Amino acid sequence: MKTLAIATLALAFAALPAVAADLAAGAAKAKEVCAACHGMDGNAAQPDFPKLGGQHEDYLAKALRDYKSGARRNAIMAGFAKPLSKQDIANLAAHYARQARVVTAKY
Domain extent at residue 37: 21-97
User: For the whole model, what pTM was predicted?
Assistant: 0.79
Q: Which of 71, 78, 90 is nearest to 16 (CA)?
A: 90
CATH number at residue 90: 1.10.760.10
Give, in order, the Cα–Cα distances in Å from 102 to each of 39, 42, 56, 84. 12, 9, 14, 26
Say what the pLDDT of residue 102 is.
87
Say what the pLDDT of residue 6 is.
72
Q: For 10-28, give one letter per residue: b (16+ CB within 10 A) or e.
A: eeeeeeeeeeebbeebbbe
Q: How many independent structural domains does the chain possess? A: 1
Region of 55 please: left (phi>0), alpha (psi -120 to 50) or beta: beta
Phi, psi of 17 (to 5 degrees): -65, 145
In a domain, 5, yes or no: no
* Rg of the chain over all Cα atoms, to the nearest angstrom: 16
In a domain, 27, yes or no: yes
> Residue 21 carries which side chain, given as an amino acid letter?
A
What pLDDT digit, counting tens, does each position of 14-73 carry? 555 567 999 999 999 999 999 999 999 999 988 899 999 999 999 999 999 999 999 999
